[in-house]
C-alpha cells in the first residue's frame, strides 16, 4: 500500500505570482561544459550549472534542457552526490514594502517554462520568505509548485518516514499594519511591463 500524505494548499489567500516580468526575460545558462545534440534536440550542461531568468535562479551539477516545438523551455536539474539543487525566485510584490521570495532545494528540480510549474524530487524543501524571514516552510519527497495558481502540493512519498511537514505562518494582516512604503515618483518605466 502506498503510504503517502498529500496536501494541497493555497499558498496565500492573496493573489501572489512569480515575478511577471520574469516571463519576458531571456534564459541564461552557465556551466563548465555542454553537449548540444541538434538531432535529438537535447542539450546537457554539466559542472556548476546555473539557469537564470529574471529573478529566477536554479543551480545544480547537471542540467538537461529541451525546447518544446512551441518555443517554451524545460529543464531537469540534478545535484552532485550529497548536494542539493536549488531554486530561488522573487514573487510579484502585492503589499508595499514586502519582498516575497520562494526558495526550494531537492536532489532533482524540474522546471517547466510553459506551465510555470516547478517540481522538487527527493529531500525536497520549499520555503516562502517575506523580506528574508521564513513565513511558510514545507518538506517532503515531492513538492510541486504552480506559480500561476500559487499553489503547492506536497507528497510525503514512500521513502523516509513518509510524512509531510509544513509550517505555515498565520495570515495576520501584518502587511496592512506595517509602515506603508513612501510614495515616490517613478523615474523610469519598469522593464518588461506595460
Partner 1 sequence: MRDRLSVLIAALLLAFVTAASYWYSREMRKPVSRTPPTPGTPDFIVDRVVLTQFDDRGKARYRLFAERLSHFNENDDLELQRPRLVSLLPDQPQVQATSLRARVINAGERVLMDGDVLLQRAAGPTQPALSIRTARMTAVPDEERFTTEVPVTIERGDARLDGNAMEYDNLRRVMTLSGGLKGEMAPAPR
Among 33, 66, 159, 165, contact with partner 1 (rule: CB under 8 A):
33
Q: How many residues does the chain have?
A: 194
Q: Does 39 bind partner 1 (CB under 8 A)?
A: yes
Does 112 help bind partner 1 (rule: CB under 8 A)?
Answer: no
The grid cell for 89 is 525566485
Task: Determine which residue in the list 113, 116, 130, 136 makes contact with partner 1, applying CB under 8 A.
Answer: 113
Q: Which of these, 144, 124, 126, lies nearest to 136 by C-alpha position?
A: 126
Instruction: Provide the 3-class DSSP secondary structure of residue 81.
Output: coil
Q: Is 174 helix (H, G, I), strand (E, B) or coil?
A: helix
Q: Which of residues 30 and 103 has its CB atom nearest to partner 1 in the complex?
A: 30
Going by C-alpha positions, the residue among 136, 139, 184, 129 that lies closest to residue 163 is: 139
Contacts of 176 (CB under 8 A, 6+ apart): 95
By rule CB under 8 A, what string of x and - marks binding of each residue 70-89 to partner 1?
xxxx----------------
Asked if 20 is part of the footprint of partner 1 (rule: CB under 8 A), the reply reads: no
CB of 150 to partner 1, least distance (A): 20
Which residues bind to partner 1, rule: CB under 8 A? 23-39, 45, 53, 67, 70-73, 113-114
Amino acid at each position: 500500500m502506498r503510504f503517502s500524505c498529500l496536501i494541497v494548499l493555497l499558498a496565500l489567500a492573496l493573489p501572489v505570482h512569480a515575478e511577471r516580468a520574469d516571463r519576458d526575460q531571456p534564459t541564461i545558462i552557465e556551466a563548465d561544459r555542454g553537449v548540444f545534440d541538434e538531432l535529438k534536440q537535447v542539450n546537457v550542461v554539466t559542472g556548476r550549472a546555473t539557469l537564470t531568468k529574471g529573478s529566477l535562479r536554479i543551480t545544480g551539477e547537471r542540467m538537461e534542457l529541451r525546447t518544446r516545438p512551441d518555443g517554451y523551455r524545460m529543464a531537469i536539474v540534478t545535484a552532485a552526490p550529497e548536494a542539493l539543487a536549488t531554486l530561488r525566485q522573487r514573487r510579484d510584490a502585492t503589499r508595499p514594502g514586502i519582498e516575497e521570495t520562494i526558495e526550494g532545494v531537492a536532489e532533482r528540480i524540474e522546471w517547466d517554462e510553459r506551465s510555470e510549474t516547478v517540481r522538487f524530487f527527493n529531500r525536497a524543501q520549499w520555503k516562502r520568505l517575506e523580506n528574508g524571514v521564513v513565513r511558510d516552510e514545507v518538506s517532503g519527497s515531492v513538492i510541486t509548485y504552480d506559480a500561476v495558481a500559487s499553489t503547492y502540493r506536497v507528497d510525503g512519498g514512500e521513502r523516509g518516514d513518509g510524512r509531510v511537514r509544513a509550517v505555515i505562518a498565520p495570515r495576520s494582516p501584518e502587511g496592512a499594519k506595517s509602515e506603508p512604503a513612501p510614495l515616490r515618483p517613478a523615474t523610469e518605466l519598469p522593464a518588461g511591463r506595460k
